[in-house]
Amino acid sequence: MDIAELKSELEKLHSASFGWALSCCRRDHAEAEEVLQTVYLKILEGKARYRGESSLKTWLFAVIRKTAIGEYRKRLVRSLVFIGSDEKRDGAASLADGPTKIFENSELQKQFRGALAKLPARQREALHLVFYEDLSLSEAANVMGISVGSARQHYERGKKHLREWLSHTETENGIVWRRKETPSTV
Amino acid sequence: MELSGEEKKLQALFSELKAADEQSAPHFARVWNRVQIAPRRIRAFNPVFVAAAVVLLFGVVAFAVWSRYSRTVSVPPPRIAEAPPANITTKPTEPSPATTLLREIKPKQTSLTARGNRPSTRHTTLVAAADRKLAKDAKSIASWTSPTSALLESPSDEIFGSLPELNQSATQLKSFLPSRSN
């Protein structure tokens, strides 16, 4: 696959990739953008090569996940070494939060984000890949680099946690569900 | 697979989240162009560079320690070697201790060839200098004489030091002896 072809494929997957990067970066827009940029750079430099062993989306998501983990570790080390680096990040985050202001206003979505953030990383990833990215469990397992059985366990546990959160929220707020229902690929 | 009621709710929440993320996502062209324009960063913490630096540092430190240690090693005791008989000034049966020590010193050439394969020439020079000093000390010990040796001298030393010439004495005696006629 040449660069032009790869570029067009990446462009198609860009918004989904950004959503996945957001999930991997704990909903930090600036960090997610940086991770995505690093991933594209890796692809351009040939450090990440698509060999056709899985679908392009699965491969790309696996690269994004690995890159996000690597960037998080680097950031952690930098934060230990350079204390003043947080100021820049705060500013970038506030700028990136601008377009999502309307979405932020939704109280339920805020709570949902909070509930997602409280979940263990693996459970959050499994739920995101299945519900958000419409991937099957085997594809999700491939992205996460674990077996299908483990992915299913994370998915079920995460779903159980969110169900508990939902029932708690519904009883507390009396929310009526009138949202679009889409079939799942699970 | 049919979704249950709660799963549908979760799906709806995720769909809403996705829609919001798509709105806030940066344009692909912007990110792609930035990647192409951005200069290649030199990675300060590249693991390969770090590993190479550590190996290099270890090598330098090991060499420094080794060279320092090899300098402070004492000169090995001189090996006993067979000295040529021409060097002996006293009796061959009873050599003096000083002469023995002189004979015990190995020639310098041998020690130099033994250390010839060492990388440090300075180290070789130092060892050679130590050998020279040792040989000089041994020579000074060999030429040493006791301060009381003069007391042991006596006038009869010449008699003890020379043998009587029996043939000459016999001839002289013969001339003095009366000749027998019978």
Q: Write the pLDDT tens digit of every residue in B43-54.
A: 556 778 888 999
Out of B11, B23, B31, the one facing A182 most closely (by C-beta) is: B11
Residue, of A93 and A141, whose pLDDT is higher: A141
* Closest CA–CA distance from residue A26 to any residue of chain B (Å): 13
Q: Report the half-sphere exposure of A38 (CA within 13 A, side-chain side).
A: 20
Task: Tell me the residues of chain B between 19 and 78 that have a Cβ less than 8 Å away from chain A.
Answer: 20-26, 28, 31-32, 34-36, 38, 45
Please give the CATH topology (third level) of the domain spanning A106-186.
Arc Repressor Mutant, subunit A (1.10.10)
Buried b (16+ CB within 10 A) or exposed e, A76-108: eeeeeeeeeeeeeeeebeeebbeebeebeeeee
- Using 50, 70 and 90 to split pLDDT, how confident is the model at A9? confident
Residue B111 inside a domain? The answer is yes
pLDDT at A171: 73
Residue A169 CA, distance from chain mean position? 24
Please give the CATH topology (third level) of the domain spanning A1-98.
Rna Polymerase Sigma Factor; Chain: A (1.10.1740)
For residue B94, give the amino acid letter. Answer: E
Q: Tell me the pTM.
A: 0.52
B39 pLDDT higher than 70 = no
Q: What is the mean pLDDT of chain B?
A: 72
Residue B61 inside a domain? The answer is no
- Whether this model's ipTM surpasses 0.90 comes out as no
B90 pLDDT higher than 70 = no
SS3 for chain B, per residue? CCCCHHHHHHHHHHHHHHHHHHHHCCCHHHHHHHHHHCCCCCCCCCHHHHHHHHHHHHHHHHHHHHHHHHHHCCCCCCCCCCCCHHHCCCCCCCCCHHHHHHHHCCCHHHHHHHCCCCCCHHHHHHHHHHHHHHHHHHHHHHCCCCCCHHHHCCCCHHHHHCCCCHHHHHHHHHHHCCCCCC
CATH 1.10.10.10 in chain A is located at 106-186
Residue, of A98 and A29, whose pLDDT is higher: A29
Nearest by Cα to A166 from A176, A178, A156: A176
CB–CB of A180 and B12 under 8 A? yes
Instruction: Specify whether the CB–CB gap between B123 and B67 falls below 8 A.
Output: yes
Out of B13, B15, B24, the one facing A100 most closely (by C-beta) is: B24
Count of domains forming chain B: 1
Residue B129 inside a domain? The answer is yes
Which residue range is the domain that position B137 belongs to? 96-144
CB–CB of B10 and A37 under 8 A? no
B56 pLDDT higher than 90 = yes
- In chain B, pLDDT over 90 holds for what percent of residues? 12
CATH 1.10.1740 in chain A is located at 1-98
pLDDT at B100: 54
pLDDT at A88: 47
Residue B100 inside a domain? The answer is yes
Residue B89 inside a domain? The answer is no
pLDDT at B74: 55
- In chain B, pLDDT over 70 holds for what percent of residues? 54
Residue B134 inside a domain? The answer is yes
Residue B151 inside a domain? The answer is no
